[in-house]
A and B are shown apart, each in its own frame.
Chain A
Amino acid sequence: MSLTFQVTGLALVIATVIGVPVGALVGLTRFPGRQLVTLALYTGMGLPPVVVGLVVYMLLSRSGPFGSMGWLFTPPAMVVAQTIIAFPLVAALTMSAVEGVDPDLRLQVRALGATRWQTGWTVLREARIGLTAAIVAAFGGIISEVGAVMLVGGNIEGQTRVLTTAIVLSTRQGDFALAMALGIVLLALALGANAVLLQLQGRTR
């Protein structure tokens, strides 16, 4: 359980740290190719985890370009895969959240003397409900995900076994009671994490 939380938590933090600024930038600025970036992000929201797992597997496998790092079948490989799944969710939903803020508000904030950065930060604050939704969606996407972590982690007991892969294994072994119990733990974990996120959203008000 703690590995599930560590892998998903770290992937979520990395995806948020990169995804929120990228989403805000795409949402608030106009540049050539913006449509393409938007299309890529929206498409990325529907990336099949198992395909992400496959690609990360190939990149990290011994003959792959990053094979020398020795990450395959280790938690860092799982973090990489989950970050890739979570990033487009965070970025695309951040983008639509900031686009939902009245463009006139940006002008008014600037007229009150805000710098570009202060304006961007203010808009992000205004979009905080949408931002929370972005992070919650990404969290939901990766904590429940099994295909990618199974492929790149290998479901090794005590090393890369997380709740979802443990549920798959228990079910295959016919231990439905254990599988069900793990499922309930997974749900409880999601419930607790989302409650914390919602709490944080309320506090920035």
Chain B
Amino acid sequence: MTQQPPAFELAGVRHRYGARTVLSIPHLSVPRGETLGIIGPSGAGKSTLLRLLQGLERPAEGIISIDGEPMPDPLPLALARRVTTVFQRPLMLDRRVRDNVLFGLQVRGRKDRAPAGPLLERLGLTELAEAPARRLSGGEVQRVALARAMAIEPDVLLLDEPAANLDPANVARVEALIRDAQARGTTIVLVTHNTHEARRLAHRTLLLIEGAVVEIGPTAAIFESPVEAKTRAFLAGELVY
């Protein structure tokens, strides 16, 4: 069996905003089909990393490869369309909920409206399908944003705090959908403040602090027997930023 190239590979990646280095990752490889959890305090560079992987920003230095090939600049549409992000602060289009969910399919020229129904149902949003999306609550918006990303069935799913504003029942719904994507072989990068969520979903977990990788390893190992002192302190809630 030939080895598949990783979904993402970062080599010598540095990113700056002005003079401040916000991300510095000498090497990181995300195999296809893996769910990589990224934990870390606020301002650690987690969202920046997702923007780089989505191709919305270019790293100041270094190379990001997709499927073994360096990301071309500009990113060809076909490549860009294999990846999608659920943002930390999802914004709804001023349309009905259903039309928001179908947006990704619509821009791909697919007029099929069927995929929205089951997704909305599984996220408990069926009753809101025809409601104006701008009138939804924060938790509802978050679920619609996930449905919108799932409708595309991307190869790579970048999730930025996908369950941050949800009650336990809705966390379960969201995580069930994420598990489906895992079962389909979707590569997932999951940024979360919630270490329990990372434990439940991630194959490997990475701790990012001040733009640097402190520790990365199988999720169980990171949580049960962390090597680095900083990881132990972070997990114990002793790292204050």
Contacts and interface: CB of A to CB of B under 8 A. Distances in A.
Interface in A62-105: 102, 104-105
Interface stretch (A37-45, A107-115, A178-186, A190-198): A107-115
B94 A112 contact: no
Nearest to B89: A104
B84 interface: yes
A111 B87 contact: yes
B205 interface: no
Given A112-B152, A115-B77, A115-B107, A122 B91 contact: no
Contacts of A109: 93, 103
A104 B81 contact: no
B56 A113 contact: no
Nearest to A122: B93
B85 interface: yes
A112 B87 contact: no
Given A107-B56, A118-B107, A205-B94, A112 B84 contact: yes
B98 interface: no
Contacts of A113: 77, 80-81, 84, 104, 107-108, 152
Nearest to B90: A108
Contact of B107 (A102, A105, A112): A112
Interface string A147-187: 00000000000000000000000000000000000000000
A86 B181 CA distance: 52
Interface string A122-146: 1001100000000000000000000
Nearest to B154: A113
Interface in B96-125: 103-104, 107-108
A59 B90 CA distance: 53
A161 to B, nearest CB: 43
B151 to A, nearest CB: 9
Contacts of B152: 112-113
Contacts of B108: 113
B186 interface: no
Interface string B69-93: 0000000010011011101011101
B197 to A, nearest CB: 21
A28 to B, nearest CB: 15
A102 B90 CA distance: 11
Contacts of B84: 111-113
Given A104-B87, A118-B107, A111 B54 contact: yes
A192 to B, nearest CB: 27
Interface string B28-64: 0000000000000000000000010010100000000
B149 interface: yes
B189 to A, nearest CB: 13
A144 B197 CA distance: 63
Contacts of A110: 56, 80
A105 B91 contact: yes
B148 interface: yes
B200 to A, nearest CB: 25
Interface of A: 102, 104-105, 107-115, 118, 122, 125-126, 205
19 contacts: A104-B87, A104-B91, A107-B51, A107-B56, A107-B87, A108-B90, A108-B91, A111-B54, A111-B85, A112-B84, A112-B148, A113-B77, A113-B80, A113-B84, A115-B77, A125-B94, A126-B94, A205-B94, A205-B95
Interface of B: 51, 54, 56, 77, 80-81, 83-85, 87, 89-91, 93-95, 103-104, 107-108, 148-149, 152
Given A107-B51, A112-B107, A112-B148, 8 more contacts: A104-B91, A107-B87, A108-B90, A111-B56, A111-B84, A112-B104, A112-B149, A115-B77
